[in-house]
Amino acid sequence: MTPINRLPGQNGRSAVPETEDTATLQGRGKFAVIVSSFVFPLALTQFVASYAASNMNVAISDIAADLGTTTRGVQTAITLFTLTMAALMIPGSKLTDIIGRKRCLMLGLTIYGFGALLASFAQGLGLLIFGYALLEGIGSALMIPPVYIILTVAFSDLESRAKAFAIVSAAAGLGAAAGPLIGGLITSAISWRASFIAQVLVVVGILYMGRRFKGTPGVKAPFDIVGTILSAIGLVVLIMGILSTGTYGWGKAKDDLKIGDTTIINKGGIAPVWPLLVISALFLAWFFFHIRSMERAGKQPLLSTRLFRNRVSNLGLVTQNVQWLTLQGTFFVVSVFLQSVRGYSAIQTGLILTASTIGILASSAVAGRMAKKRSQVDLIRGGFICTILGTLLMLLLSDATSRIVWFLPGLFLVGFGVGVMLTASVNVVQSSFPEKDQGEISGLSRSVSNLGSSLGTALVGSVLVSKTVPGNHVYAAAIIVMVAVGLIGLGAALLIPRDAIKMPSA
């Protein structure tokens, strides 16, 4: 196993903070030391970003009443946070190469923390949107890609890399799953503002722990502004189209689409999702032709086209997208069902969803041992099978009248299965490229995952408001959609060769 002080980093430098001598590190065990001083702040960074995306949902009513605005206004702020993060994730990852990984991480944390601080003092919707949606979104786009780049570069052996990714993936899942519960507890006990203050304190702690990270110099290169604009517009319009299905549906528009006093699409006309998807496709195609022309001219584009020519990575990205779609979609349908049909509070709902959180943590705890015994591709396939079984259990055992305990086995299996796959899929995607491509593939990977989260909420949301599904059968219909999506992910996993992971050289 490679000694800790020789783990590869950019330009031959160690990516691990050099805070202890070699004898001490060898005596205490390589991974235990890294977890305590290196992986933990990176996992905490991922946790706080995932938490920010999920905890706001349980405080919408309190925030609207306090700020004198509407629930739609607060939901707009949440949507804008998602859009900002998704639009800037790829440019943010590119900046890790230009300004250096540590600097990009610290800059993102600082912007994120300042945004959370502003949001906590907001007296109106405008400052909430500026602090939460804009600054926290920008901060997330800058601080998340370096997390996965640093881990990929730091751990050259599969077992240690799997353990590191398992911890960070568990933090991502935990933040998403426990966000509603933690946010509900803080909002009920203190105030929704305290939730933002808590984020500020966590960020300050990460900045303090991260000061020991060994920085790596950036590479002088021009920044592709045109590519950034084209990709941002394409991704924003894509997510807007997906999110619009919750209000307007997938077929005929359920309501008038208006901009100001002007009606763009009449009720009964084509749903907005389709023209928006066409617009998105045009901008993303324009983006692809732009980066290809830059490469042919010998310039450095925002993304290299070679990233899209790797079959293993492409299939791994599909599995990543489906995993987050399934996780967020399942959380959303269960949350809505329990609160609207069973009459549960946000805190009670969060406690029930904790079954999935336990599943994610349990799978992360055995990630290292599983990586020794099984290939990463087998883990992805097994994770999908486990998740599909979990959703089927939820479909068969739980309904509007069943005891609440019957929700728990299915939720646990969904969490366990997703926890197994999150680590393995990230490993497959990141390990498909050498170090020089880690910045770009990390941003693409995070964008695909964020897209999956948005798509999951939109898919089940459109089913839950569907008038074509009679009575209380919308819950079953939404779960069936999750089963079908899981089968698509399993199909993609089956196409990945079992020996897909081969640690590439720089």
- What distance, in Å, lies between the first and last C-alpha atoms of the chain? 18
> How far apart are the C-alpha atoms of 55 and 180, rounded to whole Å?
4
Look at residues 281, 301, 321 and tell me which one is the last residue of a structural domain.
Answer: 301
Cα 335 vs. chain centroid, distance in angstroms? 19
Residues 337, 244 share a domain: no
Q: Which residues of 414-423 are buried (b: 16+ CB within 10 A; e: fewer)?
A: bbbbbbbbbb
Within a domain: 8: no
> How far apart are the C-alpha atoms of 33 and 304, rounded to whole Å?
36
pLDDT at 115 over 60: yes
Say how many domains are in the chain.
Answer: 3
Q: Which residues of 442-468 are buried (b: 16+ CB within 10 A; e: fewer)?
A: bbbbbbbbbbbbbbbbbbbbbbbbbee
In the three-class reduction of DSSP (H, G, I as helix; E, B as strand; rest coil), residue 244 is classed as helix
Within a domain: 149: yes
| Domain span at 253 | 225-301
Residues 172, 254 share a domain: no
Within a domain: 2: no
Residues 212, 332 share a domain: no
The contacts of residue 126 (CB under 8 Å, 6+ apart) are none
The contacts of residue 293 (CB under 8 Å, 6+ apart) are none
pLDDT at 64 over 80: yes
Within a domain: 5: no
Residues 126, 56 share a domain: yes
Question: CB of 375 within 8 A of CB of 498?
Answer: yes
Average pLDDT (230-234) is 90
Residues 146, 232 share a domain: no
Residues 325, 185 share a domain: no
pLDDT (tens digit per residue) in 186-198 = 877 888 899 999 9
Look at residues 244, 268, 301 and tell me which one is the last residue of a structural domain.
Answer: 301
Residues 236, 200 share a domain: no
pLDDT (tens digit per residue) in 387-446 = 999 999 988 887 767 788 888 899 999 989 988 888 788 888 888 888 777 777 877 887
Residue 129: C-alpha distances to residues 67, 365, 386, 466 (Å): 12, 37, 39, 30
Considering the entire predicted model, what is its pTM?
0.76
Q: pLDDT band at 219, cuts 50/70/90?
A: low
Within a domain: 365: yes
Within a domain: 10: no
* Residue 123's CATH number: 1.20.1250.20
Residue that the structure tokens 């604009």 belong to: 229
Handedness of CA 242, 247, 250, 251 (dihedral sign): negative
Which residue type, as a one-letter code, is found at position 198?
A
Look at residues 161, 189, 220 and tell me which one is the last residue of a structural domain.
Answer: 220
Residues 188, 53 share a domain: yes
pLDDT at residue 453 in the model: 77
pLDDT at residue 106 in the model: 92
Residues 216, 250 share a domain: no
- DSSP 8-state secondary structure symbol assigned to residue 455: H
pLDDT at 145 over 60: yes
Residues 375, 424 share a domain: yes
